[in-house]
Structure 1
């Protein structure tokens, strides 16, 4: 939280100085306001788009306010009319929430505090642009370390997958359906996926505008390519846990080597997290996944129940997902693995 506060403080002061000293604006309050809106207090908020939305919203609000208040005067019903029209025009133009709210706030200021007419409207639009651009500059020059946040979130996400695989192995080893049930409950309530995607969006955005992080674009792209396969692996892990719980409830037999294979696959997931974040060897991760699948012998699958067979199939699906996360296509991943009976 400290970095966004620093960015807002420095950029807002600079925006005020530029608007007053360079452009000679007497009260450029929209400049520091634009800085705060542009930077915000979080990551992954599409700041380039927000600058455009901010300027459009301010323009609509000031334009409607200047025109109407100049013609009909100021008062309570004039305020209602100006506010309603500014918001309606923003919506009709296809503006999002930020555009509509900025149009409304700008119209209110014009209708209640600021004298309409003259060049005030153009000056305020320029102030909004100055603030937005300086906000982007603050993000580019004081970016923090969003790639490091992506690494941490990626570790958490793949750690969640590894935990689900390990819990499945524990449940099978101990013939305890409650272990699978508890792991399934945790998997359903985790927010690691949302946190990871937010961090990744922020890292991609900052890498695009900050010269300090351009060298890390390759690493960020590796995470981007891995996002969908890892998400599929997590979904498959929940199916794996549900079917494990069902198989244990029905007292079905599992392949004897399945728990060992699950733990090896969990280790491969952890290795993938390290490789993505450190430019490690993705080929080594692939070999780990292949070794985990190889552990299960075809003969053991023939004598299992329906749910236990599904568990084994889901295990292989997760292995394919992890291979795709290393950059292989679906067909390449399937062909890379040994056949299972």
Structure 2
């Protein structure tokens, strides 16, 4: 690869990383606002209701409880609250009775984590109990506040529990949006593969394979969004009616994972064909390009929240075209056609069919 090509590839990588980072920030704005609300409410509740001038552990507990994901959120809130409360209480009692120091710190960690193990099997409970007890002894070593910090921790946890149960902004739409982004990225990679086969450009073949491999990041975002969507509709009484929608969006993960795997094989084989100067019939190249257009159409359907079935027409057409084999086609060419047929099946499942129905829409191969 030339220096210019490497520089261009590096710039594209940085731009892609920045776009993913900004996308993550966009997806987490709601969480940040909820955490900010939790900090304010916990701080002023502890100050006004308990009369504590510096209720440090109330907002800290709220932050730890709310976190940045919806998955198992209410359970996490309960476990963190219990763990923080145990650690703070044991730390405060140790300071009151024994003072602070290295031996006291070791004793308080062992005691807090032992109590947490007895009370709960959750790892978060045990870890938070140990961490918070260390924090109390190391950085808050004073007997003037008594067990007030324990009450602050409980306030923070209760505030987080209220926010987590009552006011989560719906993440139900996000899995479908992530699925649409993934399908659109699949379409772009298919376009790159088609262009690779048309031009015989080895550098372009390498870039197309890199694009296909980078789709794993999209899948990770989709899996996270799907898990959060299902979790929040189960946990929040305000969103239970959205459960079928969340479950349907979660079902897109498996076929898209298969689609991306097949796409990587397609991109790799196209690269092999280019490097070995193997002929791929123009009709097979057109088939890849047509599949790219079908994927882009499906992504649009998902983005517009239309019924996924609206994206089947073009895919069914590609499926029909893929059945015709060329007598002179070599191994790489037939592998390209075979992967197109596999990807069509995967995208038909994304469009709402089950596996058997999708397979039935892909005719048996035949020679003209």
Give TM-score scaled by structure 1 length.
Answer: 0.82
Decide whether the 8 Å contact of 2:46 with 2:152 is kept in 1: no
Going from structure 1 to structure 2, the CA distance change for 1:70 and 1:88 (only over 3 Å counts) comes to same
What residue is the counterpart of 1:165 in the other structure? 190
Decide whether the 8 Å contact of 2:61 with 2:153 is kept in 1: no
Paired residue secondary structure (2:365): coil
Q: 1 CA distance for matches of 2:249 and 2:298?
A: 10
What residue is the counterpart of 1:78 in the other structure? 104
- Please tell me whether residue 331 in structure 1 is matched to residue 318 in structure 2: no
Decide whether the 8 Å contact of 2:96 with 2:146 is kept in 1: no
CA RMSD of aligned residues (A): 3.4
5 Å matches for 1:1-341?
A: 3-19=30-46, 21=48, 24=50, 26=52, 28-40=55-67, 42-44=68-70, 46-62=72-88, 64-65=90-91, 72-87=98-113, 94-96=121-123, 99-109=126-136, 112-113=140-141, 115=143, 123=151, 126-137=154-165, 140-141=166-167, 143=169, 146-147=171-172, 149-190=174-215, 191-209=217-235, 216-300=242-326, 302-341=327-366
Decide whether the 8 Å contact of 2:39 with 2:63 is kept in 1: yes
Equivalent residue pairs, number: 335
By how many angstroms is 1:91 displaced? 6.9
Unaligned runs of at least 5 residues, structure 2:
1-24
Comparing 74-83 with 195-204, which one deviates more in the overlay? Answer: 195-204
Q: 1 CA distance for matches of 2:156 and 2:245?
A: 34
Paired residue secondary structure (1:327): coil
By how many angstroms is 1:244 displaced? 1.2
Going from structure 1 to structure 2, the CA distance change for 1:95 and 1:156 (only over 3 Å counts) comes to same
> What does the per-residue CA deviation read over 1:279-328, in whole Å, with 9 as the maximum and x for residues that have no partner?
3233332222110121235341x322222222211111111111122232
By how many angstroms is 1:335 displaced? 1.4
Higher relative contact order (CA 8 A, sep 6+): 1
Comparing 212-221 with 2-11, which one deviates more in the overlay? Answer: 212-221
> What does the per-residue CA deviation read over 1:94-143, in whole Å, with 9 as the maximum and x for residues that have no partner?
54357403432145426853649987587356324313213415xx4362
Decide whether the 8 Å contact of 1:257 with 1:296 is kept in 2: no
Q: 2 CA distance for matches of 1:208 and 1:25?
A: 36
Going from structure 1 to structure 2, the CA distance change for 1:3 and 1:223 (only over 3 Å counts) comes to closer
> What does the per-residue CA deviation read over 1:168-197, in whole Å, with 9 as the maximum and x for residues that have no partner?
221222233432221102222342222233
What residue is the counterpart of 2:8 in the other structure? none
Going from structure 1 to structure 2, the CA distance change for 1:131 and 1:32 (only over 3 Å counts) comes to farther
Q: 2 CA distance for matches of 1:80 and 1:35?
A: 26
Decide whether the 8 Å contact of 2:193 with 2:267 is kept in 1: yes
Q: 2 CA distance for matches of 1:260 and 1:272?
A: 18
Unaligned runs of at least 5 residues, structure 1:
none
> What does the per-residue CA deviation read over 1:262-282, in whole Å, with 9 as the maximum and x for residues that have no partner?
222222222222333433233
Give TM-score scaled by structure 2 length.
Answer: 0.76
Going from structure 1 to structure 2, the CA distance change for 1:211 and 1:259 (only over 3 Å counts) comes to farther
